[in-house]
Amino acid sequence: MKPKYIAIAAVTLDGKIAKSKNHMSDWTSKEDKDFLHKMLDKCDVVLVGNNTYKTAVEPLSKRNCIVLTGKIKKPLQKSKNLLYINPKATNLGRLIAKKKYRRVAILGGTQTYSYCLENNLLDEIYLTIEPLVFGKGINLFESQKFIEYKFKLASIKKLNSNGTLLLHYKKFKG
């Protein structure tokens, strides 16, 4: 069976996922964090970019992780559950299929979400909208060119009294 690639992200009202690449995700609500941990528990592996990984080494240490980096040529198995790969040198989709991972949690950040979107490795998005504005910062997706991928809303849930929303989108198959 084809693995499911599920992106999980929290954004501000102005669509930012962080103020800068070193910014920790400590600005999201408790309800969003609870949801994130539950989702990660349901997935077989976490796919994450090197910048995001560095902001969350400790919480991710107990999970199977594939970290994207451009700094290596061959896959680098750092520990039993931590693998670094360069997607330009290793076919990521094939590697995940070979490892028989069924559910892949795409944890970001921008470069990783964008890579997955552009390479047909994104089936679903869980997007938490936190009711705050950064004004400036890192976007959810950032492409070198104009792109258009369609999604369909599967569900919407209000997570708390401040109005944090959890949106679940699936790739539009029209």
Ligand X SMILES: NC(=O)c1ccc[n+]([C@@H]2O[C@H](COP(=O)([O-])OP(=O)(O)OC[C@H]3O[C@@H](n4cnc5c(N)ncnc54)[C@H](OP(=O)(O)O)[C@@H]3O)[C@@H](O)[C@H]2O)c1
Q: Which residues of this chain interact with ligand X, rule CB under 6 A?
A: 9-10, 17-18, 21-25, 49-52, 55, 68-71, 86-88, 107-112, 115, 138
CB of 4 to ligand X, least distance (A): 19
Pick between residue 3 and residue 109 the one whose CB is nearest to ligand X.
Answer: 109
- Count of CA atoms in the C-beta half-sphere (13 A) of 127: 24
Pick between residue 64 and residue 112 the one whose CB is nearest to ligand X.
Answer: 112
Rounded to whole angstroms, the Cα distance separating 111 from 114 reads 5
Residue nearest to ligand X (CB): 49
CB of 131 to ligand X, least distance (A): 14
Pick between residue 75 and residue 173 the one whose CB is nearest to ligand X.
Answer: 75
CB of 44 to ligand X, least distance (A): 19
CB of 169 to ligand X, least distance (A): 15
